[in-house]
Structure 1
Amino acid sequence: MTGPRMIPDCVIPLRDEHAQKQSTRQLLADVFPSWNIDRIDVMSLKGGITNCLLKCTYKAGTPQEIVVLVRAYGRGTGSIIDRNREFCTHVHLHSFGLAPPLHARFKNGLVYGFIAGRSVEYHELSNPMLTKGISQLLAQWHTVLDAKAIKTLMLEQSGLKSHDIVDDIWQLCQKWISKLPTDSDAQAKTKAVLAKELVWVKNEIQYKGGPTVVAHCDLLSGNVIVPEDWSSEKLANMPPVTFIDYEYSLPTPRAFDLANHFMEWQGFDCNVSLIPTVGGPMMREWGKQYLEATHIFKRGSCEKQQNGVPVREADIDLLMQEIRTWWGMPGFYWGIWATIQAVISTIEFDYANYAQIRLSEYWTWKQDYLSAKKLNCESNL
């Protein structure tokens, strides 16, 4: 197959399990004409809170076994996620060996290669061997991926003009805020407050997050894949790590991707005790490994050196300051997102409460940020 198949009329149902499996089998028979539809097994996977993920196995248990994934988008998610960007980002990632092959795109989802392994648990994200693998792979993303190449592919695929494409996190947040409901006075007030906050936070931190990179933007534990038999108790080995799910990938300052990943250490349970301290020993070591790997990939070497490239303490200090400055943005970003999901999603998840929790992270950060700014001003008087 020279490229992903386009099957624009196929729709995979989200709720009716029987119809879902039947539609998925027919889809795969169209994508892979040599497959016998009666030999395709379909199993629903859990993990995400927006999409339906199906593991599909052809000729299970035989030497000819082939496994692919079918992802059907959650209802209404197209209004907050640019599916064309997701598709083009996946194609670009695959060209670097950073994503599985993309077999097909249908009306409400994708068919792509299966990565053997398991997603990690959020309490494993602090494991020293896992942090090393994640930091090095994220450094590769941030160094070798080309935002301009992805945008060029998007323009070719969509026929849109350049100014029609959301290019950064500020434009995306503005788009999301415009979609917030205003059915009640409380909702209208929330929308107005967040619109005002977006202007303020953009003016404050826009250019303080380091270089703009192609960021994952959703690097939670469920999107980090390791070998099935790897255990967080086995500290002696660093597992090969793969990132999945690129629907939120976007050019952003690197500090957002890093801050967001560290915030995800708390999991959906919002166990804040697991979030590392900004500038603390654990985060500094993570940052050191990230910067070492960044230097390696900038020099054109894809081989991991045992001791990496020396990184100055001043470089780590700067990275920590970037993260500290952007520490409130993940809460702001996901707070807006969850407020929309509370209205459009059919998935059983308390988005409204999650929105409040995440936005409270932003308000706490803002208070700390303004206090530090005031102290800095007074010390300079």
Structure 2
Amino acid sequence: MTGPRVIPECVIPLQDANAQTQRTRQLLAEVFPSWNIDRIDVTSLKGGITNCLLQCIYRAGTPQEIVVLVRAYGRGTGSIIDRNREFCTHVHLHSFGLAPPLHARFKNGLVYGYISGRAVDYRELSNPVLMKGISQMLARWHTVLDASSIRTLMLEQSGLKSHDIVDDIWQLCQKWISTLPTDTDVQLKTKMLLAKELVWVKSEIQYKGGPTVVAHCDLLSGNVIVPEDWSSELSSDIPPVTFIDYEYALPTPRAFDLANHFMEWQGFDCDVSLIPKVGGPVMREWGRQYLEGTHRFKRGSFEKQQNGIPVGEADVDILMQEVRTWWGMPGFYWGIWATIQSVISTIDFDYANYAQNRFSEYWTWKKEYLSSKKANGESNL
């Protein structure tokens, strides 16, 4: 197979379990012609709040089993997620060994390789050993991935014009806000408020987040995979770390990816006590490991530099200031996202309450940000 198969007519049902299993088997028999359809086992995996994820095992009559994943997109998610960008990002990641092979693309999803291991628990994210593994892997992402290559592939795959592509987080948030409903006075006022707020926050922090990188943008615990037998309590060795789920990957200032990851330490339960203090010892150590990683890997390859550039306290100070400036943006971003999901999603999750919690993070940050500017004698106009 020279590249992912494209099967545009195939649709995997989201609700009917029997029909879902049958159609998935048919799809895989088409993607892998040598597979016997009767030897394909399909199991639904839990954990996500956007899509349907199926683990598919082909039992070929030998001890060797072949495992792939089939992901069917949640209803209406195409209005908030650029599936063409996701596809092209996955292809680009795989070319660097940072993602599993992509076997096929169908009308409402993807077929791709299975990464053995387990997702970490959000309470493990503060483990010093795991922190180093995650920060080093994110440094690889931010160093070797090339946004222009992904963009070129998007243009080739979609037939879109250059100006039709959403290129950054500001354009994406603007697009999301434009899709918000205005059926009630409250909805209309919310939409107008968010549009106004986007203009303000962009004017304040746009150029204060450090270099623009290909960011994961959804680096929560469930998207961090470590070996099945790795224990955060028993092991002192840095585990091999892999990131999964690339549907939100986008060029952004690095500060957004870092701030977003730290915010995800709270989990979906929004236990804010677990979020590290901005500029505190834990975050500074994480940042130091990240910066060492960015120096260690040459752009465009995984080759280690023999003589890494030392990371001084001033370097960490700069990174912490970038994160501090962008600290409210994840709450704003996911608050908009959850507001849309509360309208379109059929998945059993309290999106409205989640949106409220995330927006509260943004408003808290904004209050502190304005107070800091005032204390420094800067205008808030």
TM (normalized to structure 2)? 0.97
Q: Is the 8 A contact 1:143 1:294 kept in 2?
A: yes
Q: What is the match of residue 93 of structure 1?
A: 93
In structure 1, what is the equivalent of residue 295 of structure 2?
295
Alpha-carbon distance in 2 for matches of 1:269, 1:304: 39
C-alpha root-mean-square deviation of aligned residues, in Å?
1.6
What is aligned with 2:20? 20
Identify the residue that residue 356 of structure 1 maps to in structure 2: 356
Residues 105, 371 of structure 1: CA spacing in aligned structure 2 closer, same or farther, 3 A cutoff? same
Identity percentage of aligned residues: 85
How many angstroms apart in 2 are the aligned matches of 1:177 and 1:45?
31
1:41 alignment partner in structure 2: 41
One-letter code of the match for 2:146?
D
The 1:119/1:292 distance shift into structure 2, 3 A limit, reads: same
Instruction: Answer whether contact 1:122 1:221 (CA < 8 A) is retained.
Output: yes
Matches of 1:302 and 1:335, distance apart in 2: 35
Secondary structure in 1 matching 2:55:
strand
- How far apart, in 1, do the equivalents of 2:306 and 2:155 lie? 41
> Structure 2 matches for 1:1-20, cutoff 5 A?
1-20=1-20
Q: Deviations along 1:107-127, whole A, 9 cap, x unmatched? A: 000000000001001000001
C-alpha contact 2:181 2:187 (8 A) present in aligned 1: yes
Which whole-Å CA distance do the structure 2 matches of 1:309 and 1:292 have between them?
7
The question of whether the paired residues in 2 share the 8 Å contact of 1:293 and 1:304 is answered with: no
**Distance of 2:307 and 2:342 partners within structure 1:** 47
Offset of residue 304 of structure 1: 6.2
1:260 maps to 2:264 = no
Q: Identify the residue that residue 77 of structure 1 maps to in structure 2.
A: 77
Counterpart position of 1:180: 180
Contact 2:49/2:349 (8 A) holds in 1: yes
1:53 corresponds to 2:53: yes
Map 1:207-356; keep pairs closer than 5 Å.
207-298=207-298, 302=302, 309-356=309-356
Q: Do the aligned partners of residues 362 and 5 (structure 1) sit closer, same or farther apart at CA in structure 2, a change above 3 Å counting?
A: same
Counterpart amino acid of residue 335 in structure 1: G
* Matching of residues 95-174 of structure 1 within 5 Å: 95-174=95-174
User: What is the distance in 2 between the residues matched to 1:281 and 1:23?
Assistant: 51
Kindly indicate whether the alpha-carbon contact (under 8 Å) linking 1:335 and 1:354 is maintained by their aligned counterparts in 2. Answer: yes
The structural deviation recorded for 1:47 is: 1.0
- Conserved in 2, the CA contact under 8 Å of 1:101 and 1:112? yes
Q: Is the contact made by 1:89 and 1:246 (CA closer than 8 Å) also made in structure 2?
A: yes
SS at match of 2:43: strand
Contact 2:331 2:359 in 1 (8 A): yes
* Contact 2:298/2:305 (<8 A) preserved: no
Query: 1:331 touches 1:362 (CA, 8 Å); kept in 2?
Result: yes
Q: Give the Cα–Cα distance (whole angstroms) in 2 for the partners of residues 343 and 9 of structure 1.
A: 27
Distance in 1 (CA, whole Å) between partners of 2:27 and 2:116 is 22
Which 5+ residue runs of structure 2 have no aligned equivalent?
Answer: none
Residues 128 and 307 from structure 1, CA distance in 2 versus in 1: closer, same or farther, beyond 3 angstroms? farther
How far residue 235 of structure 1 moved from its aligned partner, in angstroms, is 3.8
Aligned partners of 1:18 and 1:295: how far apart in 2? 51
- CA contact under 8 A between 1:217 and 1:250: conserved in structure 2? yes
- 1:302 positional shift: 3.0
Contact 2:297 2:305 in 1 (8 A): no
SS at match of 1:123: helix
Tell me the number of residue pairs that the alignment of Structure 1 and Structure 2 aligns.
Answer: 379
* Structure 1 residue 232: Cα displacement: 1.1
Choose 90-99 or 53-62, whichever is displaced more.
53-62
SS at match of 2:359: helix
Quote the Cα distance in structure 2 between the aligned partners of 1:164 and 1:301: 30
Cα separation, 2, equivalents of 1:50 and 1:293: 31
Cα gap change, 1:300/1:15 in structure 2, threshold over 3 Å: closer, same or farther?
closer
Please state whether the residue corresponding to 2:209 is helix, strand or coil. coil
Contact 1:293 1:309 in 2 (8 A): no
Shift of 1:64: 3.0
Gap regions ≥5 residues in structure 1 = none
